[in-house]
Structure 1
Amino acid sequence: MAVPRKKMQKHFSTSSSTGSDENRRVYCQSCDRDGPRLPAQGYCVDCKENLCATCSTHHKRHTLSRHHNLLDEKSASETLSSASLHPRQPDKLKTRCPKHMKEMIKFYCQNHLALLCSVCVTLEHTGTSCKVNYIPDISGQILYNKEHQDILKAMDTITEQCHKKSTDVKKITAKSNNSLTDVSADIKKFRKEINQRLDELEKQANDAAKTIKQENDKTLKIVETTCNDVTKSLKASSDKIKHLITTKQADQFFIELKLAEQMIQDHEKRVHKSAAYGVKVYKFKPNKAIATVLDKEKSLGTFTEKSLKQSSPLPAVDIKHRQTSHQGKICVKTYNSRYTWSCWITGMTLLTPDLLIITDRNNYTVKMVDTRSQSVTHQLQLDIWPWDITSVSNTELAVLHPDDQIIQFISVSSNKLKKKKMLGISGQCFGISCCQGKLVVSSIDPVKLQILDTNGTTLKTVKGENLFSRPLYVTTNTNYIYVSDCDMRTITRLNWQGKVTGSYDGLDYPCGITLSDDGAVFACDYGRNVIEKIAGDCSTGKVVLKDLKHPYAVCWCAETSKLYIGCKTDQAKQDNFLQVFKLS
């Protein structure tokens, strides 16, 4: 039932309209915390607390609160709202203050969002800017608002994020551990290759020592035989002369004496000639480069990270002017017993910034070029002429033989090239490129593009009657395939589904092409004697090198910003060299 207003004023009643007098009476909040419950007879506006007579007296005397606005019982009854009253016995507070371990947390500062004990309030939160509440005064409100729901929801969200992060890290860790297993296998393989190479060098040195020993033994045998023959001949002549002296056969003695003089001259020449054999004493002088390599090098190799994210399509690039400088030329002419033609470099691929592999169509060879020493360090003789070449991995290459319609796989190990398996293909194919385990080959008869795996399985065929006329070279990245067509005079871009997504027709006779690190294409224009850089979307192009001698094949090194160019002029002084340019 309704409570008369006078009674509410007299006892500072709460907003509740039912219940006993005990529940409707207002008590001193300070005493409620630590002592017996006493009726409130005053109210502090600054502290927002009901106070008994004793607490009101102390409140007025205390240094920190003596200037507070205190209301008597009557004034407080007219001012207080039901939300400021505290009609219940507070819970027993049990949480200790982390700063003052003997004190319990009882207060909350709304300005600093801090839980406080009595000492904290006294020492750190006494200013007028701090709005400090006694926790039992405000704790009842939180049971009926959404704050705790938001906090619990945030806790659930973070928990879910932790579970997801843990799952993701677990998956990535598994991938990382699997990759490290592969790394260990690669390390063992690399070590084996080093050992094999050292074994080869050791055998080579021992063979050289054996050859010298055999020559020494042969020399010794010749000298011994000569000396024995001379000794026997001279002894026989000497014995005969002595016998003729004893028997006093003057005529025969004269003849034998003169023969002995002639024999002495001949034998002196033979002995002198045998003495001319140069037998030397040797000592081993280690190769300093090999002897110190382990001291200089800090590791067998480095670990490089593989991206776990799928590559996004390359954006179109603006063709910007780049300064060019001629870095010289590399002689790639080698001599063998089968072919001595001038070079015709028709294909190039980089395994490392220091290791360039080229195909020499005229001399039926694949050659390994050290770009640092600028020399051919090894070559592989082929039975049929090659055309284009691509790297399948760091240790494997694929070479096209158009006439025989095959792909020859070649391994690279211990700085040597070695034939591996062959794959048969359909059509007279000239261009080849490998990306992520897929081979793309361009055929001019019939006109088409083929996408194969490294086992020779055809994954897709793009019929080219309406797209190409003579697709001579191809190059690829994870998003696109680029084709140079020397008859249609175009560079065409296709996606891996075989759909044309761009074309550039500003060329005269396009041949070899290579991809730049910014997504653009460097193209040899054999007819105009230039290298043109074409935007990745085939929208624009710009000449970056001119006044060349019929450039035919090209390769770009992103690490060194160098272009390697092979020309076809039918002149040895041009064709036997790779031209090297730096773009910056």
Structure 2
Amino acid sequence: MGEEKQEQPTLTELIETDFLKCKHCNKRYASPVLLPCLHAFCQDCLTTLPQKEVTNGNSRKLVQFQCPLCHSTVTVSKEMSPTPFLQSLCQLHTFKHTSGRTCSYCRFDGKNEAAEALCLDCVDDMCEACTTAHKKTRLTRNHTIAPYNQILNGLFDHDIRNCQEPLCPKHSAPFVNFCRDCEMLTCKTCNAESHRGHSLEQMEAALTRLQPEAKSFVQGLRKRVPTLTEYQAFLKAQLQNLEKTRSEVVEAVKQQAENIHAMVDAHRDVTLAELDKEFSKEEATINGRSKDLDVAKKSLESNAEFLGHLLALGSPPEVLQLHAAIMARLKQLIQMQPNAMTQRLAPSFQPGPASLQNMRIMFGTLDLQRVPINQEEGGPKAKLSISTLLPEPLDPPQLITSIPVKQENDCKEVWPSGLCLRKEKMVVVDRDNKKVKIFDCNSKPAKLTFQFSGKAEHMLKQPFDAVLLENGVVVVTDHEAEKVKIFDVTGKWIGDLEGDFRHPRGIAADNKGQLVVVDGLLLRLTVHDADNGKLVRTIPATDASGNKLLVDPFYVAITEAGHIVVTDHAAPNIKVFSMEGQHLATYGRYGTSASEVLKPYGVCVDRYGQMFVADSDNHRIHLLLPDGTFSKFLLNHRHKVAHPVTLAINSEGHLLVGEAFGKVKVFKYL
């Protein structure tokens, strides 16, 4: 196949193409910078990319980032200079689009005259009058004047390019040589200062020497295009095969969905048939009782009619003759009671735990395996089966250890209002002693390693809850100080979370570097960036009508799915929101029975999405399914749990329960 000759566009054509558009912002270049990978971008666009500062052997400051086009790692000087070739073409493009250009000289006199021409030597815009004067002045009479209407038609493109000589960025002087040792252009001052003794050659000679090599590289690149075209055809065939495979998988998924739908529909029909059967029985019972009452009513009416007529019209002998029968019947009627119903049918439907996780387990798994390009797709792989949709909790849970929180220097009884874990460290907020206590869980039993209360104006006034971040920073809610304070690993205050707080209580961290704080007075949630403490968003926690959903909120937890779980002393006691603020679910009524809570405090979520709620006054821990429905009482007073306040899950999957007055108990529940 013969090589197809690439047609080179003219200069006029080139500057009107996308060649002068930045591949990042898709606009005309503004100070174009050419990267080592030969991809150009606006200087400002490059500054917006994520950059890392590095230094070379000469301690020169450089920046490192990824090219937005080819994604290769680029290391360049921090002071990136525009590329003269692209800068000059952009300037030519600007000259050819004269809209709004005004005379440079008239502006000195405060005038605003439209520019009619451009002096290529001075690079000044001129009106018609100034153009005439420019041609008459001795110093400028030999300058090249280009009318803008002719520039627009491309008549001065090459004249303008000939006047666009790049200057030495260091000395602002014209380049005269090319240094073969340093592979760079030099001016006269450069030659004398830093290139003395180097191999210097005239620019024309250097271009004559280097241009053939560059052209051969271009030809080599163009020869690779057919190979890439062939591979593109191969990829197209792969795409067609992929679409065929996709159709087969889609059909299998749809068939599974239809099978599940059929089973669901069949179970629905059985359930509805059972409901209809019970309704028919109840209806027959009610109708039977109604008929009995109708007979009794007619009997009473007939008796009343007969006795009324007898007493009104009967003679004394006639009345007295029937006296015994009448009295016997009256006694029967007085003692007669309707066959009343003692029970009624009260049907309801309790949906099963139809969580997304359980649905995925039931539906099946999409295996997105990857195989060598020439290997056929394999059949289904053998996989471990899941015996239950959710793990079955131990009954009863096993008490692993009990950690005393009270220390000798505590002035008051311990009230562990906050509890959190990070790897081997456990943080307990002792509200009444105004301390944050940090324990090493690797020790058996866990040992207190450090405690702090803040200093001076950053002293903790009434701490409530805390989170321990990956970097060792402890973030503490202090509702008396109306702040959420940040302390480093030594207990030194390093700042506060941004935002307006009135009674900050519970705080939790998600797996995306965000913190959520619940305010007990403002009745809202705030989301913050864990890295800088900035306020990301405020969640008003309202319903569709704008009514407040929170009444007396205390603690907060975040699920793996990013849902926010809040405990509230007002029923319903558990409220669940999305991270965007949408109200998703509620749970709990006031009381002592199942699904009832007296005083909810701490809440946490395990890796299965199951929720645990501390019901302090009922001395028990509620276990909720991922959809928020009640599962069971995981712990209660029979397990020696008294006034649970705070909850947490450690890295081993054990449940930690912080009790009022001083202990943290660790339970194995799975």
Q: TM-score, normalised by structure 1?
A: 0.43
Work out which of the two has the higher radius of gyration on C-alpha atoms and give 1 or 2. 1
Structure showing greater relative contact order (alpha-carbon pairs closer than 8 Å, 6 or more residues apart):
1
Q: TM-score, normalised by structure 2?
A: 0.38
